[in-house]
């Protein structure tokens, strides 16, 4: 039997998202997945594993409500942000009719998820926030259901100004949901727009425990939105989004003790980022170092492929971004420990400028 004939026509030639763990290389310093460099170890006693978990555990929602300063009724728990991205497209978009918009270069799962569900995408290349063109939204407003904004943006590290976001919210307040992906917001928490949820009913904010909290393997995220949206999503989310062990771990990490630990980790990573930023600017074959509000730095090299391979041979794994439109020869560097950052700079300095060409 030819099983390929059973696959939906719109994804027969589908190219999947290539996660960091799908890049089959050996390394000792992993700076390619925007993970926390701090290893978390926690012993948790898991009881009643023979029973299904609470679909939306109240203890976690209550603690995240306190942490995020959001009402408990405005929070939905999911399997990381990726499930939330999929859930909104699945619930609100009609195939071959509705569209989603995103601003590239950005996180590719917005595009990929839409393609899987047969939803058309509007990819707006956003080079400069100062010249933001609202006419692009106006021209597509009739069928534009969702606008995804990664803030801070992955992989560039920049952040859409709040005034532009507010203008977008006002522009499509009766037609579209504006979904702000705040996966990396802890690294610039003062930039969060979660406070705008009360004022703008079409605003959705996505959060995760994967980045600053250092729980990438646990897979826990949150959708924050007005009560009506949350109630709609509850009808369609998987029956048991997160497991009992996940619930128990997240419950511990939302305690004051671990929140304070997370904040100290964020300060350390931001300090390492500033140190690395200044050192990278002095490497002769690096043409540009992008300013970043997140836990990674984007650089533009003379030859990204050469640099990536050279560092791989030394056990340092980075993420090439050359396939993203407008990012040819760009590399994203996750911020590691101070020792890892020093090792990276040491190996970069050992790369011959002549060999890069």
CA-nearest of 183, 188, 152 to 269 is: 188
Class of domain 58-254: alpha beta
Write the pLDDT tens digit of every residue in 208-231: 999 999 999 999 999 999 999 999
**Per-residue b or e along 34-44, where b marks 16 or more CB atoms closer than 10 Å to that residue's CB:** bbbbeebeeee
Residue pair 76/251 in contact by the 8 Å Cβ criterion: no
Write the pLDDT tens digit of every residue in 86-101: 999 999 999 999 999 9
Cα 209 to Cα 110, 119, 215, 264, distances in angstroms: 19, 28, 6, 16
| Topology annotation, domain 18-34+258-349 | 3.90.1150
Q: What SS3 class is residue 310?
A: helix
Whole-number pLDDT of residue 217: 94
Secondary structure of 219-278 in HEC code, one letter for each residue? CCEEEECCHHHHHHHHHHCCCCCCCHHHHHHHHHHCCHHHHHHHHHHHHHHHHHHHHHHH
The strand pair at 316-317 and 29-30 is best described as parallel
Residues of the chain with CATH 3.90.1150.10: 18-34+258-349
The strand pair at 203-208 and 177-181 is best described as parallel
Residue 356 pLDDT grade (very low, low, confident, very high; cuts 50, 70, 90): low
Q: Does residue 24 carry a pLDDT above 70?
A: no
Write the pLDDT tens digit of every residue in 87-140: 999 999 999 999 999 999 999 999 999 999 999 999 999 988 988 999 999 999
Whole-number pLDDT of residue 325: 87
Tell me the C-alpha distance between 332 and 31, whole Å. 8
Residue 8 pLDDT grade (very low, low, confident, very high; cuts 50, 70, 90): confident
Residues of the chain with CATH 3.40.640.10: 58-254
Whole-number pLDDT of residue 10: 79
pTM for the whole structure: 0.95
User: Tokens representing 309?
Assistant: 């391979």
Residue pair 23/308 in contact by the 8 Å Cβ criterion: no
CA-nearest of 269, 325, 323, 266 to 297 is: 269
Residue pair 106/154 in contact by the 8 Å Cβ criterion: yes
Whole-number pLDDT of residue 9: 74
Tell me the C-alpha distance between 306 and 286, whole Å. 12
Write the pLDDT tens digit of every residue in 269-327: 999 999 999 999 999 999 999 999 999 999 999 999 999 999 999 999 999 999 998 99
């Amino acid at each position: 039997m030819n099983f390929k004939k059973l696959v939906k026509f719109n994804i027969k030639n589908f190219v999947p998202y290539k996660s960091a763990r799908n890049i089959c290389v050996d390394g000792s310093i992993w700076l390619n997945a925007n993970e926390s460099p701090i290893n978390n170890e926690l012993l948790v006693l898991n009881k009643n594993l023979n029973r299904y978990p609470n679909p939306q555990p109240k203890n976690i929602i209550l603690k995240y409500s306190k942490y995020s300063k959001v009402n408990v009724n405005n929070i939905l728990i999911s399997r990381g942000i990726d499930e939330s991205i999929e859930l909104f497209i699945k619930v609100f978009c009609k195939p071959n009719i509705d569209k989603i918009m995103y601003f590239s270069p950005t996180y590719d799962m917005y595009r990929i998820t839409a393609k899987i569900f047969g939803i058309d995408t509007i990819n707006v290349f956003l080079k400069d926030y100062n010249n933001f063109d609202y006419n692009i939204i106006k021209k597509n407003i009739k069928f534009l259901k969702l606008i995804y904004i990664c803030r801070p943006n992955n992989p560039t590290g920049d952040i859409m100004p709040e005034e532009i976001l507010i203008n977008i919210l006002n522009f499509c307040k009766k037609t579209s949901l504006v979904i702000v992906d705040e996966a990396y917001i802890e690294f610039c928490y003062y930039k969060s727009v979660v406070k705008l949820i009360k004022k703008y009913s079409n605003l959705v904010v996505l959060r995760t425990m994967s980045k600053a909290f250092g729980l990438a393997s646990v897979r826990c995220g949150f959708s924050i939105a007005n009560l009506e949206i949350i109630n709609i999503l509850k009808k369609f989310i998987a029956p048991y989004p997160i497991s009992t062990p996940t619930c128990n771990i997240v419950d511990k990490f939302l305690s004051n003790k671990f929140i304070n630990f997370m904040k100290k980790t964020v300060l350390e990573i931001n300090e390492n980022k500033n140190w690395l930023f200044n050192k990278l600017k002095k490497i002769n074959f690096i043409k540009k170092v992008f300013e970043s509000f997140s836990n990674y730095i984007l650089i533009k090299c003379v030859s990204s492929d050469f640099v990536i391979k050279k560092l791989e041979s030394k056990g340092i794994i980075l993420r090439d971004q050359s396939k993203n439109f407008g990012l040819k020869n760009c590399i994203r560097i996750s911020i590691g420990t101070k020792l890892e950052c020093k090792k990276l700079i040491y190996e970069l300095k050992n790369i011959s400028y002549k060999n890069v060409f």
